[in-house]
């Protein structure tokens, strides 16, 4: 009985990471309950149902053969790219942006799934590419096209934060694959030179967000209102916070988007530095586990995919926390597992499920073919 296959599979699961994920999701429910003034509706109840369903989906995905992620990586990328084109044609508009596809039973944001698709597609590309050719010019244009197409489509929505996330994931994959550091230096110089052109292509509200990031005091009651109130909420929390359900910035409606992009500020006001450390330690455990999976995997595809997915999760976390503290412009990236929102949570749970799938077969060398040539 104890040697039954299903028992063995349960033993293979990374239970420390799973329990940490459950704790972070549970903390999100607690915060959303407070954000609604001590009510499960409208956010906490839906968040808890989503979390339970997607947690189960994550465990199911963890049992998928890791080779399937390699085989279907390009197909996944192609489907999401088509979905991004569909968004431009008949996507739903919300908050001034056209980002969603309404499928009747669910409303999806395809750009979220591209964060995963770009990682898997580039992992397959570099897995099949012989090592001597990685730094050649002929080997550089395919990943640049794979990154540039979805990033451009997402910018049209417009969604600067998600576009940056896609580019970040792609650049990380190129760096991890062994592309020369001098190419990144050259790309950085070209990017700086192109800043005036990029600035002219931004929408007015995006330019205003960058200017307000540099000096929120120039418009504290207008464009700088979000970040000003967020800083007040975080600073007033102190070490241990004002107490559960005792937040004033959130409960008196001073803090905007208190259940989504600025949920960390909602939490920090009531839980203080202690709550922030809980979140940081929790994600540190999950990220450490994902990085260890990448470092101990034998297959090139597995190493790149696990590390790229870990970098994507880190980008979510870092940008959101920097944003609410005024260290980055407001770009609309949620806090993973904690912020209210279906597409973002689905993306993160699929991401973690894929890493668990890779972890189960980290010792397998059946995928490792391309870079030994």
pLDDT at 367 (0 to 100): 47
Q: Are 59 and 355 in contact (CB under 8 A)?
A: no
| Displacement of CA 50 from its chain's centroid (Å) | 17
Q: Which two tokens stand for residue 190?
A: 């070209």
Residue 279 placed within a domain: yes
CA torsion angle 167 97 83 119 (round to 10): 20
Q: Residue 136: its pLDDT value, please?
A: 75
At a CB cut-off of 8 Å and minimum separation 6, what does 272 contact? 237, 238, 239, 240, 241, 242
Helix (H) or strand (E) holding 247, with range, is: none
SS3 180: coil
d(CA 59, CA 132): 38
Phi, psi values for residue 94, rounded to 5°: -150, 130
Q: Distance (Å, rounded) from C-alpha 351 to C-alpha 316? A: 12
Asked, for residue 23, whether it belongs to a domain, the answer is: yes
Structural domain of 359: 17-372
Output the pLDDT for position 270: 94
Do the domain assignments include residue 281?
yes
Alpha-carbon span 339 to 259, nearest angstrom: 6
| Residue 9 within a domain | no
Whether 4 is in a domain gets the answer no
Number of compact structural domains in the chain = 1
Q: Give the Å distances, CA to CA, from 311 to 42, 88, 176, 314.
A: 32, 28, 11, 5
30 falls within a domain: yes
Task: List, in sequence order, every residue forming a beta bridge with 102; answer none if it has no partner.
Answer: 107
Q: In 10 A of CB 124, how many CB atoms?
A: 24
Cβ contacts of 1-9, under 8 Å, gap ≥ 24: 9/63
pLDDT of residue 371: 47
Let me know if residue 3 belongs to a domain.
no
Which pair of tokens denotes residue 65? 């053969």
Please indicate, yes or no, if residue 242 is contained in any of the structural domains: yes
In the chain, the largest separation of any two C-alpha atoms, in whole Å, equals 68
Q: Which positions of the chain have pLDDT values less than 70?
A: 1-6, 94-97, 104-106, 194, 198-203, 205-206, 208-209, 211-223, 363-373
pLDDT of residue 32: 95
């Amino acid at each position: 009985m104890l040697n039954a296959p299903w028992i063995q599979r349960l033993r293979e699961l990374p239970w420390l990471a799973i329990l940490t994920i459950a704790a972070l999701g549970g903390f999100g429910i607690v915060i959303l309950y407070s954000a609604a003034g001590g009510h499960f509706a409208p956010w906490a109840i839906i968040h808890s149902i989503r979390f339970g369903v997607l947690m189960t989906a994550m465990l199911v995905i963890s049992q998928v053969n890791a080779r399937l992620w390699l085989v279907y990586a390009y197909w996944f990328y192609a489907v999401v790219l088509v979905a991004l084109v569909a968004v431009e044609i008949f996507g739903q508009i919300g908050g001034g942006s056209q980002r969603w596809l309404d499928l009747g039973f669910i409303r999806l944001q395809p750009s979220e799934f591209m964060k995963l698709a770009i990682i898997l597609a580039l992992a397959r590309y570099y897995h099949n590419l012989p090592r001597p050719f990685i730094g050649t010019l002929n080997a550089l244009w395919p990943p640049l096209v794979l990154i540039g197409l979805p990033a451009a489509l997402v910018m049209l929505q417009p969604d600067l934060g998600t576009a940056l996330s896609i580019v970040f994931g792609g650049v990380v994959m190129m760096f991890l694959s062994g592309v020369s550091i001098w190419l990144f230096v050259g790309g950085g110089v070209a990017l700086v030179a192109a800043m005036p052109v990029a600035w002219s292509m931004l929408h007015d509200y995006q330019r205003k967000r960058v200017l307000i990031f540099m000096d929120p005091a120039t418009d504290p009651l207008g464009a700088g209102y979000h970040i000003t109130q967020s800083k007040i909420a975080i600073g007033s929390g102190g070490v241990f916070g004002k107490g559960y359900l005792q937040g004033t910035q959130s409960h008196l409606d001073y803090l905007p988007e208190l259940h989504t992009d600025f949920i960390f500020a909602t939490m920090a006001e009531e839980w203080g530095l202690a709550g922030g450390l809980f979140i940081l330690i929790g994600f540190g455990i999950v990220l450490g586990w994902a990085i260890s999976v990448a470092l101990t995997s034998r297959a090139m595809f597995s190493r790149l995919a696990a590390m790229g997915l870990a970098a994507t999760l880190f980008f979510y976390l870092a940008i959101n926390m920097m944003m609410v503290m005024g260290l980055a412009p407001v770009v609309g990236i949620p806090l993973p597992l904690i912020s209210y929102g279906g597409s973002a949570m689905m993306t993160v749970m699929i991401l973690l499920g894929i890493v668990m799938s890779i972890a189960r077969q980290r010792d397998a060398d059946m995928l490792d073919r391309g870079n030994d040539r």
